[in-house]
Amino acid sequence: MGLGTGIATVCAALPHALSELEAADSQRLVSLTSIDPTRQKRLQITDPDAAPPKHWPGRDSAAMP
């Protein structure tokens, strides 16, 4: 990905990401994906409490006794 594409991705997705984060009731992970015109394809938002990624601290703590 070139620098211009990276900057365009951030510029296109940031307003949508901020509005989603304002409405969230807890912490969220945001992954910016592309400059696609549709909101759903610009970014991916994950609730780490519901679906923690592999690298998330405390992910396995619930499974431990």
- Assign 27 to helix, strand or coil: coil
Tokens of 46: 């994950």
Mean pLDDT of the chain: 81
Given a contact cutoff of 8 angstroms between Cβ atoms, the answer to whether 28 and 18 are in contact is no
Q: What global pTM score does this model have?
A: 0.65
Q: 7-65: per-residue pLDDT in tens?
A: 888 888 888 889 989 999 999 999 888 776 666 678 888 898 888 888 888 766 654 44
